[in-house]
Structure 1
Amino acid sequence: MHKKTRESQIAVTRRQHRKIPSNENNKAHTPTTACIRKAEESRSRTSIPPVFHDCLLCPVQSLVPTMTQKPHVAIFPSPGMGHLIPLTELAKKFALNYDLSSTFIVPSIGPPPEAQKKVLGSLPEGINYISLPPVSFDDLPGIRAETQISLTITRSLSSVRDVLKSLAASTRLVALVLDLFGTDVIDIASELSVPSYIASLSTGMTLSLHFYLPKLDQMVSCEYRDLPEPVLLPGCGISVHGRDLPDPIQDRKDDAYKWFLHHSKRHSLSEGILLNSFVDLEPETIKALQDQELGNLPPIYPVGPIIYSGSSMGASGHECLQWMDDQPNGSVLYISFGSGGTLSFEQLNELAMGLEISEQKFLWVVRSPDKSASASYFSATSNTDPYSFLPKGFLDRTKGQGLVGLKEAAAKAVSEEGSSSKSLHELVSKWKN
């Protein structure tokens, strides 16, 4: 196809996009000069071949995207299984329900964990992936997980650019989907006239915090944990003590906070946000986000719950659902610390003892303990007995009071009620047109 014809098709089929300043020319988005300098010095110089298919490098010079091709979505997950798994499930929805193909662009800090290889290796037809060259952190020992994630992406930007250029030249690339730590890739997508969408993999309340954080940062001079009054999150209708805000923003002098703030500021540069929640779960918060009560925000698409479907729930999953059905509304305490929230053995036992003494009904998403609080972030749990580390007799003593459940079983207890399918259909229709 002639170059001008190709450009005309892009102009007709894609919506106009806001011009996004590059990181190099916009210091307001730079967490710290030292961080960015180190990131620029360490960017990979590896040249990525033109086209990727099922992780095999296949140069195909004759492929030219046309309107007759299947729409294609590039998906860029941040390092960590908690980021990868929801996005693979989203890609499956694209493929099975909307006939969209997709390619995962996977950054890495070393050899991929077995759990990651298993997830990527089980993707259905129409979903491909390419692993970027690994990033080294020998120059930054002991950095926090949040900082490492952001720098992994920043140090991989040149490789990301090569892959996106190849996809734009060989497929009908209609969108780039990334998560909250990948906002620096938005600039590259803008250069290629590809609309970027952020997949917010937590709740609407967390998304509200992201949009509110830049204003809070300007209003408050002390550490948030030292605030005498709780923080009222706009659109949520509740106040949160500063000490209960997410751990990465508890030390405002740390690079982890600067990166968190950096990405929060850049949320508004996206063309839209796919929210892993649904209207009936957070009606007030989602309405506030969609009605622009928090400012001039991109469109919000509640498409959740997006949960892992890689294995059957089995008997324990059905037991969990039945137990939940038998409890009064609002009577169960749900406990989960996410993919990076591994407790130490001592902390886990303290929590177990507290639950037992409280006599509170609970559903606990539990994983084996580790010395490092973020030990499970980039990998997954082992295949050992999942309950062997709990206090002896704990399960027997709390039978009927609580249930220790698997993550997928707990998530599948929540129904979409049809609202998420409608929202996702609206978004995909924009891409196809």
Structure 2
Amino acid sequence: MKPHAALLTNPGMGHLIPVLELDKRMVTLHGFHATVFVVANTGDHASTTLVNSPTPDNLGIVSLPPVDTDAAIPTKLVVIVRQSLPFLRTAISSMKHSPFDGQLVNGNVKAQKPLKIPCCKLLRLDDTLSLFLDQSDPSFKGFIRLGIVCSKADGILVNSWEDLEHSTFQALKDAAILGQVSKASVYPIRKLARRSGPQVLDQKLMDWLDKQPTDSVIYVSFGSGGTLSAQQITELAWGLVLSQQRFIWVVRPPADNDAHGSYFTLEQGSGTDPDFLPDEFLSRTRDVGLVVPMWAPQADILSHTSVGGFLSHCGWNSSLESLTNGVPMIAWPLCAEQRMNATMLMEEVGVAIGLKQSAREDGVVGREVIGESVRKRGGH
């Protein structure tokens, strides 16, 4: 009997893509039967398209009933996964077949001390999850519980590879050190990133990219749900003008107090020019830039020879796709684990320059700073 893998994921692209890529490789390379259980979510065009796309014969995708909650993200993600577990147990049944110290985390947060992880650099609190800074957040205890549960697993698969995080994986091979973190063996499984495919880019995008010089275009995107405030969108727009660089910018409507604003409302772009961009911006950049509403085929854009830089929120999927295609980055993390990713990409891997730390007291990054950074990481 072939082994059967079952994985649960919420519908966010940052979670769904690597799970699907992992299962595809289990099926095609190792003869597994695999089932992906996805928490259903309405109104998400990109995720729905991905779920409904053709899959290998031994890979099944099961949509679980949607969970209705008005909680804010990231609390919403924790609630969705927790409330989906009964549906998951029922679905799996029908198929018939740590030493993690929460008190230590609490103590470090209260004392505002960096988190110490064996054989790794000290993790600055400012670089970790924002919810760690607010223990009253309902997600805080949920993440602590998840850490304890994960540390008791029989094995942990990591969407990374040893050359990228060499010191970390070397430490995790040391039984004495590993025992301080988890009883499970940790397996880096290399890059579960999307590969570019033929005829994915629409003709307008392809025609425009084909006309640009090699390494001349800066690609600007904040992931499948990242959003900026109205003021920050204005500064970014004029920063791109000041940079005098060619660009592709995936734009979404502003959300002044919610960096995750588009996470559960991602839809295919309408093809019309967004009305929230500054007056005259589109007319002044029409010859050098391309604005794409809501969503773009990122892996295919990053693999194009004309793209020479990526202004990114540093989500892990985006980071892997950029690394895979050899595209240097401008790090602009917004939320979740993105600050940790950005710090690693800047300080350890050396493939990114920082931008968010240049924000003014009001939290907005000014157009002059953006323009200078884009010139450094842009193209010709």
1:279 and 2:210 equivalent?
no
Alignment of 1:407-418 (within 5 A): 407=318, 410-413=322-325
1:305 and 2:236 equivalent?
no
Alignment of 1:5-404 (within 5 A): 69-108=1-40, 110-111=41-42, 113-122=44-53, 123-137=55-69, 141=70, 143-169=71-97, 215-222=104-111, 227=112, 230-240=114-124, 242-292=125-175, 293=177, 295-297=180-182, 298-309=184-195, 311-312=197-198, 323=215, 337-351=222-236, 366-371=250-255, 372-384=258-270, 389=277, 391-392=281-282, 393=284, 396=288, 402-403=309-310
Once the two structures are superposed, residues 397-423 of structure 1 have per-residue CA deviations (whole angstroms, 9 ceiling, x without a partner) of 9x99855689485253169xxxxxxxx
8 Å Cα contact 1:94-1:100 kept in structure 2:
yes
Which residue type is aligned with residue 151 of structure 1? V
8 Å Cα contact 1:367-1:381 kept in structure 2:
no
2:299 is matched with none
Question: SS state of the match for residue 193, structure 2?
Answer: coil
Q: Aligned pair count?
A: 288
1:114 positional shift: 2.9
Q: Distance in 2 between matches of 1:322 and 1:214?
A: 52
8 Å Cα contact 1:80-1:379 kept in structure 2:
no
Once the two structures are superposed, residues 376-402 of structure 1 have per-residue CA deviations (whole angstroms, 9 ceiling, x without a partner) of 3235353246996585556949x9985
8 Å Cα contact 2:119-2:168 kept in structure 1:
yes
Q: Distance in 2 between matches of 1:321 and 1:236?
A: 41
8 Å Cα contact 2:43-2:264 kept in structure 1:
no
8 Å Cα contact 1:272-1:301 kept in structure 2:
yes
- Mark the CA change 1:76 to 1:288 in structure 2 (over 3 Å): closer, same or farther: same
- Mark the CA change 1:309 to 1:104 in structure 2 (over 3 Å): closer, same or farther: same
1:217 positional shift: 1.6
- Mark the CA change 1:158 to 1:335 in structure 2 (over 3 Å): closer, same or farther: same
8 Å Cα contact 1:75-1:105 kept in structure 2:
yes
Which residue type is aligned with residue 35 of structure 2? T
Deviates further, 340-349 or 275-284: 340-349
Which residue type is aligned with residue 237 of structure 1? K
1:317 positional shift: 8.3
TM-score (normalised: structure 1):
0.54
- Mark the CA change 1:86 to 1:96 in structure 2 (over 3 Å): closer, same or farther: same
- Mark the CA change 1:376 to 1:370 in structure 2 (over 3 Å): closer, same or farther: same
- Mark the CA change 1:112 to 1:387 in structure 2 (over 3 Å): closer, same or farther: closer
Question: SS state of the match for residue 67, structure 2?
Answer: coil
Q: Distance in 1 between matches of 2:264 and 2:225?
A: 8
Q: Distance in 1 between matches of 2:192 and 2:5?
A: 17
- Mark the CA change 1:365 to 1:303 in structure 2 (over 3 Å): closer, same or farther: farther
Which residue type is aligned with residue 75 of structure 1? L
1:373 positional shift: 2.2
1:116 positional shift: 2.5
Q: Structure 2 stretches of 5 or more lacking a match?
A: 290-305, 328-380
Percent same amino acid among aligned pairs?
Answer: 28
1:363 positional shift: 10
1:78 positional shift: 2.7
Q: Distance in 2 between matches of 1:74 and 1:118?
A: 21
1:88 positional shift: 0.7
- Mark the CA change 1:273 to 1:279 in structure 2 (over 3 Å): closer, same or farther: same
- Mark the CA change 1:358 to 1:365 in structure 2 (over 3 Å): closer, same or farther: closer
Deviates further, 75-84 or 343-352: 343-352
- Mark the CA change 1:121 to 1:364 in structure 2 (over 3 Å): closer, same or farther: same
Q: Distance in 2 between matches of 1:121 and 1:75?
A: 17
8 Å Cα contact 1:320-1:403 kept in structure 2:
no
1:155 positional shift: 1.9
Which residue type is aligned with residue 217 of structure 1? N
TM-score (normalised: structure 2):
0.61
- Mark the CA change 1:367 to 1:133 in structure 2 (over 3 Å): closer, same or farther: same
Q: Structure 1 stretches of 5 or more lacking a match?
A: 1-68, 170-209, 327-331, 416-433
Once the two structures are superposed, residues 184-235 of structure 1 have per-residue CA deviations (whole angstroms, 9 ceiling, x without a partner) of xxxxxxxxxxxxxxxxxxxxxxxxxx9676522234425xxxx3x6545543
Deviates further, 89-98 or 378-387: 378-387
- Mark the CA change 1:216 to 1:409 in structure 2 (over 3 Å): closer, same or farther: closer
- Mark the CA change 1:350 to 1:284 in structure 2 (over 3 Å): closer, same or farther: farther
Q: Alpha carbon RMSD of aligned pairs, Å?
A: 4.3
Question: SS state of the match for residue 90, structure 1?
Answer: helix
Q: Distance in 1 between matches of 2:170 and 2:212?
A: 31
Question: SS state of the match for residue 262, structure 2?
Answer: coil
8 Å Cα contact 1:81-1:378 kept in structure 2:
no
Q: Distance in 1 between matches of 2:237 and 2:273?
A: 12
Larger radius of gyration: 1
Q: Distance in 1 between matches of 2:4 and 2:154?
A: 17
